[in-house]
Amino acid sequence: MKFQSLSLTFIFLYTFLMPAITHADEGMWIPLLLEKYNEEEMRDMGMKLSAEDIYSINHTSLKDGIVIFGGGCTAELVSDQGLLLTNHHCGYGQIQRHSSLENDYLTDGFWAMDRSEELQNPGLSVTFLISMQDVTGKVLQDVGSNMTEKIRDSIIDSRIEEIVNSITDTSEFLSARVKPFYHGNQYLLFINKVYKDVRLVGAPPSNIGKFGGDTDNWMWPRHTGDFSLFRVYADSNNNPVEYSPDNIPYKPKYYFPISLKGYEPDDFTLVFGYPGSTQQYIPSDAVELLTRVKNPVRIKLRGLKLDVMKRYMEQDDLIRLQYAAKVARVANGWKKWIGENKGIQRLNTIERKKEKEKNFQQWADADPERRKKYGGILAEFSEVYDQLEPLELSRTYLIEGGLGVELLRYAGSFRELVDVSNNDPEKEQVEELTDKFIKRAKNHFKNYQVEIDKEIFVKMIREYYQEIPEEDQPEIFETLRKKYDGNVQEYANDIYDKSFMTSEEDVVDFLDKYKARKYKKIKKDPAFELVTGLYDKYYNDIQPQISDLDAQKDSLQRIYMRAQMTFEPERRFYPDANFTLRVAYGNIGDYYPRDAVRYDYYTTLQGIMEKEDPEVYDYVVEEKLKELYREKDFGRYVDKDGTLHVCFIADNHTSGGNSGSPVINAEGELIGINFDRCWEGTMSDIVFDPDRCRNISLDIRYCLFIIDKFAGATHLVEEMDLVTE
């Protein structure tokens, strides 16, 4: 009985995962299934490669030249010496970590003139995909249709664990992961190899790598030279190994040839990388929660935070360095959510989803079998999202507001020391931990200004305190209410005065002399008390409710996904992004963002000169670049139109995580590095509009021009394979 119902599920799935009609542009596709679903269309659009050239487990294929870079970007191999290209904003943390006022690589750029100058990056790794495989059958083997979600999850978890262990046991170099697709209707196994010695090789100055800064971020026309170079190192057998000066450059199975030929409108492009997360198939209630509750709060709180940080950064060079990465992180989400909300509103996404849901409901109700399976699903979604609303509001204030304060996040990290100390630890254990905390303190205070943080505290806690109804507030806010009569400034004055966690000296002094019994001093610290109160509220109250509702939501979403596929059998469905390797393809071209406005598909060096403003940090142009421009000294990187192209756009469906992804032409040669999307299309994680969604790529020729002509690091270009015809 069970077996039969399962095999029916499979027939069902495979039938409905088959495309019937095709649309170009939209979609991020699974490399393993290209031949089945996309190859023909890609060839029609101009691609000269086969699906096997892109992804194969039997032969070398493009996928062997692509890695996950760190925790959230993509990078590609561009030489047989393990040379890696990614974005400047992806290598930003590393570049910043090596920077100081004396050696300000962030501002001035960094170029290793030989291997010995390349800089080590503890904690940075790159992940190669060895293979992917459909394991749906194994994962869902013992899952029955009437199980509770809890039992279902625990069966799935243990199946996944078995699969993962069976791989990891056979090789110390391989790691495995199983990930759900189509919201749990399909499962794929990924076998990876992780390299841990990855060194910084080159980065342009920020006025190139981050030209236009947060002002131009998420916008077109764009002139950002958003790239940095790293090198992967291996042991003498080409296997992963911890950093050692004896390691040698990794020999890739595949690396990308680089095209100097340029491109034309309508040319085929393909982006191969790791989009992080999209939500294309959620119900209108979910879009409402996102756009009417979550995004506005996040936008408001981040806006307040940014005002404070930017004001200080403008006045002081050290602060600018210290806060550069923080501001970039906060501003990036802030701006994207603003664009996302606008795009969703302009496309009437909520209303259009409601319309579709109406039709879906009619379809479901029209057949008794379907009615039983799907008839109640939208109503159930509504109920779940209604209950989620106040909880998501609380959670957003807690995360963006409460934990948006650095002192509170930092104080929260001391929990570990309290817990260990409280448990009768060995002396060595305590010593080890305090060493770790001393290191952490150095890192934390390197980029910390207490007066900035205190101002942010006042703004964040005030919002949190005023906007959340009293009954939903953390209990610890009673102190603020009773002792300070709601005066957040006075509350902040006391906390920042009395906490020992606001000063490096006090923290290190405390840790130097630390003994387990002293943990009481941490517990009495007012910053620690406050953050503990926030966490208590979260873990004892908000989180358990949310996780219950999330489980219901996930289960509904799984069924709803399947239902949508049945409801629209003609439509080709791609799975939502889940930070697994995907292929997006489309064409290079102009776009028309609004009435009477048309944007060209590429920008040139001239645009940089036009944007130049020596007074504004993000728009400073260096003399050397101006000189090259004046003399039209573009070398072999010049376009056939005589200009130097900087960035270009296409309609590939990309998302956060695709940054650093190779952008290739019909022949499979590298023509760009993906790094952003256009403002009018930032809603593409929720809804894709082929007329307005564009991915932004750095023209590879500008990248090489900067390495070679601007920085004189010609030896790096010589490592690469350049294709001119």
Distance CA 699, CA 647 (A): 5
Give, as ranges, the residues between 332 and 371 that touch ligand ARG (CB under 6 A).
Answer: 332
Nearest residue to ligand ASP, scored by beta-carbon proximity: 659
* Binding to ligand ASP in span 57-76, by CB under 6 A: 73
Q: What is the DSSP string of 607-644?
A: HHHHH--TTSGGG---HHHHHHHHTT--GGG--TTSS-
SS3 state at 201: strand
For residue 514, what are the contacts with CB-CB under 8 A and spacing of at least 6? 417, 430, 434
Residue 657: name its binding partner from ligand ARG, ligand ASP, none (Cβ under 5 to 8 Å by kind). ligand ASP
Spot the catalytic one: 64, 88, 89, 653: 89
Q: Based on the shown chain and the rule CB under 6 A, indicate whether residue 654 belongs to the binding site for ligand ASP.
A: yes
Of the candidate spans 203-211, 304-312, 585-593, 673-681, the one that interacts with ligand ASP by CB under 6 A turns out to be 673-681
Cα(181)–Cα(248) distance, rounded to whole angstroms?
38
List 331, 377, 408, 687, residue binding ligand ARG (CB under 6 A): 331
Element (H, E) at 100: none
Applying CB under 6 A, which of residues 394, 580, 659, 665 lies at the interface with ligand ARG? 659
- Which pair of tokens denotes residue 280? 């294309």
- Asked if 607 is part of the footprint of ligand ARG (rule: CB under 6 A), the reply reads no
Give yes or no for residue 676 binding ligand ASP (CB under 6 A).
yes
Catalytic residue among 206, 659, 661, 697: 659
- Smallest separation, CB 676 to ligand ARG (Å): 4
CA distance 707 to 111: 9
Token readout for 409 is 């996040």
Question: Does position 218 bind ligand ARG by CB under 6 A?
Answer: yes
Which helix (H) or strand (E) segment is 597 a member of?
none
Supply the DSSP string of 329-366, one letter for each residue: HHHHHHHHHHHHHHHHHHTTHHHHHHHHHHHHHHHHHT
Partner touching 654 among ligand ASP, ligand ARG, none, CB below 5 to 8 Å by kind: ligand ASP
Q: Which stretch binds ligand ARG (CB under 6 A): 61-69, 213-221, 535-543, 598-606?
A: 213-221
Among 374, 538, 675, 679, binds ligand ASP (CB under 6 A): 675
Q: From CA 643, how far away is CA 701, in angstroms rounded?
A: 11
Smallest distance from the beta carbon of 83 to ligand ASP, in angstroms?
21
The phi, psi pair for 35, rounded to 5°, reads -60, -40
- CA dist 77 and 97 (Å) reads 23
Q: Does residue 325 belong to the site contacting ligand ARG (CB under 6 A)?
A: no
Give, rounded to a whole angstrom, the gap between the first and last alpha carbons of the chain: 61
CB 274, min distance to ligand ARG, A? 12
Return the structure tokens found at 531: 């953050």
Per CB under 6 A, which region of 242-250, 559-567, 645-653, 657-665 contacts ligand ASP? 657-665
Give the nearer residue to ligand ASP in terms of CB position, either 79 or 654: 654
719 binds, among ligand ARG, ligand ASP, none (CB under 5 to 8 A by kind): none
* Least distance to ligand ARG, CB of residue 206, Å: 10
- Return the SS3 of 677: strand
* Number of amino acids touching ligand ASP (CB under 6 A): 10
Backbone angles phi, psi at 647, to 5 degrees: -135, 160
Residue 657 binds ligand ASP, judged by CB under 6 A: yes
Binders of ligand ARG among 53-112, rule CB under 6 A?
89
DSSP type of residue 485:
T
Tell me 264's DSSP state.
-
Of positions 19, 209, 213, 662, contacts ligand ARG by CB under 6 A:
213
Q: Which does 56 bind (CB under 5 to 8 A by kind): ligand ASP, ligand ARG, none?
A: none
CA nearest 91: which of 111, 106, 77, 101?
106
Structure tokens at 553: 């939501």
Active site residue 89: yes
Kindly tell me which of 126 and 522 has the beta carbon lying closer to ligand ASP.
126
Binding segment (CB under 6 A) for ligand ARG, from list 53-61, 118-126, 250-258, 324-332:
324-332
For residue 271, state whether it binds ligand ARG (rule: CB under 6 A).
no
Pick from 652, 659, 665, 697 the residue near ligand ASP by CB under 6 A: 659
Our CB check for ligand ASP shows the closer of 412 and 657 to be 657
Write the secondary structure of 655-667 as one string of H (helix), E (strand) and C (coil).
CCCCCCCEEECCC
Residue 387 contacts which entry, ligand ARG, ligand ASP, none (Cβ below 5-8 A, type-dependent) = none
CA 275/CA 170 separation, integer angstroms: 29
d(CA 447, CA 449): 7
Rounded to an integer, what distance in angstroms lies between the CA atom of residue 64 and that of residue 255? 8
Active site residue 267: no
Residues ≥6 apart with Cβ < 8 Å to 167: 174, 175, 176, 189, 191
CA-based nearest residue to 255, from 418, 67, 419, 110: 67
Tell me how far apart the alpha carbons of residues 537 and 534 are, in angstroms, rounded to a whole number: 5
From the list ligand ASP, ligand ARG, none, partner contacted by residue 357 (C-beta under 5 to 8 A by kind): none
Compare residues 218 and 233 and give the one whose CB is closer to ligand ARG. 218
578 sits near ligand ARG (criterion: CB under 6 A): no
Establish whether 382 is a catalytic residue.
Answer: no
Contact 92, 238 (CB under 8 A): no
Is residue 214 near ligand ARG by the rule CB under 6 A? yes
Query: Residues 668 to 687: which contact ligand ARG by CB under 6 A?
Result: 676
Task: Tell me the site size for ligand ARG, rule CB under 6 A.
Answer: 11
Residue bearing tokens 């806010």: 477
Q: Binding to ligand ASP by residue 284, rule CB under 6 A? A: no
Does 655 help bind ligand ASP (rule: CB under 6 A)? yes
Taking alpha carbons only, the member of 62, 90, 275 closest to residue 200 is 90
CA distance 371 to 365: 5
- Sole window of 47-55, 406-414, 441-449, 670-678 interacting with ligand ASP (rule: CB under 6 A): 670-678
The catalytic residues are 89, 226, 659
What are the residues binding ligand ASP (CB under 6 A)? Answer: 73, 654-659, 675-677
What are the residues binding ligand ARG (CB under 6 A)? Answer: 89, 213-214, 217-218, 328, 331-332, 656, 659, 676
